[in-house]
Structure formats: structure tokens, C-alpha cells
């Protein structure tokens, strides 16, 4: 276990016991630009705002390190469309911050040497070529394969994110994803389609029948109990099985995570549909914004990673064991 990981676990204990409200993890939408046109996402139609310039990004990273932030997850859009992403990751590494980067994989082979400091590269893949490409675009499956191979050659740790939609809620596609990921000693996190997260438009095109979806969650739960390389915990999968019905879950965001968007807005969560922007980091001190963020109670929580963190923080033993096991991998 690395020093950074020990620091993260220690931070969780402090947050739990002392109710410390400086986040341990920040999810940062570093750009809204995207080079894909996934059918369940209209991110490419979003009016691209002026991105935070590199010098401000590096300043915020150093500030977060000083405040005690342990993990930054960079997402988008497609983070690798930023020319400076390598220098951003280098800065995090120098400041002792663990990093995660979510990518569609298209630019990974070209930029693999720049992103070597990343703690984990999560690649989006929804199944074999005949399933993935109609959802994410022609050639996208091959590009993920190339990305995974490049990451393996350069010893970059990978994981995979699979969005469960009408196109892939079949056991053979689940089996394919787990076998594919095992080739890279990786796990797969499964995520339901939900509108406010992916900004999707055509519910009839991508939303699975509820009965099909829940059968697949039962299948995933059974596989997880047998030790399959699934990133979700059994507790998390049971929660996601409730989609799309209301399923309140106590939120750890006040103590564990925050979100920063490309305009510099700081919020508790970018997933909850309720307004929760604390302010803008161009106008206010970042520490003050972290402390101003108010706790929320949502009627539902379908972001797989948020679900896992929430169950972990509330002390669910299954989620705690799953998270610790992943730390030790």
C-alpha cells in the first residue's frame, strides 16, 4: 500500500470521526470538449465554455494539496483533448495527489507517455465491437483495445466503465467485458444510464427494459459473490438494481467529495439535479467554497462511484471490504 493510499484512508477516518468538511476527493470536469458522439450523451452539443487556463489549474491543484485533498479525478468531455493534461498530471504527482482519468481511449496511444503519472486510467467500453460501436461510434472498440494495449506497455493501471443500456443488458456481453478486462488485470465498473448524468436524449433508444436491467443486476451480484473482477460492491449493485425507482441514500459528499466544472464552479455533486453550486473559484477562496458547500439529501443516486463512496462512508462492511480490496490491488 502506498503512502498516498494510507493518507487517503487516514483522511476517511478523520472525516468520519472529526466531521472534517474539506473533501478528500475532487471530480474535475477539466473540459467539455469531446471527440465522440455517444448516443446516450449529448455532451458534444453543450456550448463549450472557456476552460480554466493551465496556470490557474496548477494553482488550484497546489491549493487542494495544501488543504488535504488526496484524489483528483479528471473527466470531461474528453480530458486528453487538453494539450496541457500531461503537465496537470505531473503537478498532481509532485504534490502527492492521487489521480484518476476517465477517457474514451481514442487519444491514449498518442499521449501515453504524458499520462504515465496517472494513478488509474478508466476506459469507457460497453461490450464487444458489435455492441460498443453503435453506441459510441464506428471504430471506438478498436481504439479502446489500442488504448489498453498502450497502457499495459507503459505500466499504466487501467479500469473499465460499462454503461448498461438497452444494447448490452445480456449475460454474454457482461461475460465478454469481464473476460476482456481480465486480460489487463483490470476490473469493470457497471453504471446504469441516467439522464442527468449523461445528458442523454433518446430514452426509448438506450434505456433498457426494467425487467431486463434488473435481471442483469442479479447476474452481476451473483458473479461478484463468486469473486468476479467487478469494481462495484455487492451493496452498490443492490442499490443500482433499484433504478429508476426512488432510492434515497445518505450522501457523504459534505465530507468526502466535491465537483469542479470547466467554468470554475464548485459544487457538492454534479449528479444531483438540485442546484448545489457553492460559488466560483475565480471569485472566492477555494477553502471557503469547500466549507460553504451544503449537505444534500437526494431521492436517488445512480452514479456508481458516488454510490460506492456513500456506502463506504456509512460503514457498510461489504462496501468497505470491496474498497479496501481495490486499494490493495
Number of separate domains in the chain: 1
Whether residue 198 is predicted with pLDDT greater than 50 in this model: the reply is no
Lowest mean pLDDT across 4-8, 102-106, 293-297: 4-8
Whether residue 204 is predicted with pLDDT greater than 60 in this model: the reply is no
3-state secondary structure of 257: strand
Rounded average pLDDT over 123-151: 97
Whether residue 16 is predicted with pLDDT greater than 90 in this model: the reply is no
Cα distance between residue 260 and residue 26, in whole Å: 7
Cα distance between residue 101 and residue 151, in whole Å: 12
pLDDT digits (tens, 9 = 90+) for 32-50: 999 988 887 766 556 566 7
Whether residue 203 is predicted with pLDDT greater than 60 in this model: the reply is no
Which of 189, 174, 304 shows the shortest CA–CA distance to 239?
304
Bridge partners, 162 (sequence order):
190
What CATH number corresponds to the domain at position 197? 3.20.20.70
Which of 92, 59, 56, 62 shows the shortest CA–CA distance to 74?
92
Which of 273, 262, 279, 245 shows the shortest CA–CA distance to 43?
262
pLDDT digits (tens, 9 = 90+) for 236-256: 999 999 999 988 888 888 888
On average, the pLDDT of the chain sits at 89
Rounded average pLDDT over 60-89: 96
Please give the share of the chain, as a percent, with pLDDT higher than 90: 68
pLDDT category of residue 19 using cuts at 50, 70 and 90: confident
Structural domain boundaries, residue 254: 3-328
Whether residue 18 is predicted with pLDDT greater than 70 in this model: the reply is no
**pTM for the structure as a whole:** 0.92
**Contact residues for 268 (Cβ-Cβ < 8 A; gap 6+):** 251, 253, 254, 257, 258, 259, 276, 278, 293, 294, 295, 296
Amino acid at each position: 500500500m502506498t503512502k498516498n493510499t494510507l493518507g487517503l484512508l487516514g483522511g476517511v477516518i478523520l472525516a468520519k470521526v472529526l466531521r472534517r468538511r474539506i473533501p478528500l476527493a475532487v471530480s474535475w470536469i477539466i473540459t467539455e470538449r469531446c471527440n465522440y458522439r455517444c448516443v446516450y450523451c449529448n455532451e458534444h452539443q453543450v456550448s463549450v465554455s472557456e476552460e480554466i487556463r493551465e496556470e490557474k489549474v496548477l494553482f488550484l491543484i497546489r491549493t487542494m494539496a495544501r488543504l488535504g485533498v488526496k484524489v483528483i479525478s479528471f473527466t470531461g468531455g474528453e480530458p486528453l483533448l487538453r494539450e496541457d493534461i500531461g503537465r496537470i498530471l505531473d503537478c498532481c504527482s509532485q504534490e502527492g495527489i492521487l489521480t484518476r482519468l476517465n477517457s474514451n481511449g481514442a487519444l491514449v496511444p498518442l499521449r501515453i507517455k504524458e499520462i504515465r503519472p496517472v494513478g488509474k486510467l478508466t476506459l469507457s467500453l460497453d461490450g464487444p465491437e458489435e455492441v460498443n460501436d453503435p453506441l459510441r461510434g464506428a471504430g471506438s472498440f478498436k481504439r479502446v483495445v489500442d488504448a489498453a494495449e498502450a497502457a499495459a506497455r507503459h505500466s499504466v493501471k487501467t479500469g473499465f466503465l460499462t454503461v448498461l443500456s438497452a444494447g448490452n443488458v445480456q449475460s454474454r456481453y457482461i461475460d465478454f467485458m469481464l473476460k476482456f478486462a481480465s486480460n489487463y488485470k483490470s476490473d469493470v465498473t457497471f453504471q446504469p444510464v441516467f439522464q442527468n448524468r449523461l445528458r442523454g436524449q433518446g430514452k426509448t433508444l438506450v434505456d433498457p427494459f426494467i425487467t431486463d436491467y434488473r435481471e442483469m443486476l442479479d447476474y452481476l451480484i451473483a458473479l461478484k459473490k463468486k469473486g468476479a473482477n467487478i469494481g462495484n460492491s455487492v451493496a452498490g449493485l443492490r442499490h443500482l438494481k433499484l433504478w429508476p425507482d426512488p432510492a434515497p441514500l445518505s450522501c457523504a459528499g459534505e465530507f468526502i467529495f466535491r465537483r469542479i466544472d470547466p467554468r470554475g464552479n464548485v459544487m457538492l455533486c454534479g449528479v444531483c439535479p438540485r442546484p448545489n453550486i457553492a460559488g466560483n473559484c475565480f471569485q472566492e477562496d477555494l477553502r471557503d467554497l469547500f466549507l460553504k458547500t451544503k449537505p444534500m439529501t437526494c431521492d436517488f443516486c445512480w452514479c456508481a462511484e458516488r454510490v460506492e463512496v456513500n456506502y463506504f462512508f456509512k460503514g457498510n462492511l461489504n462496501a468497505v471490504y470491496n474498497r479496501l480490496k481495490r486499494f490493495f490491488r
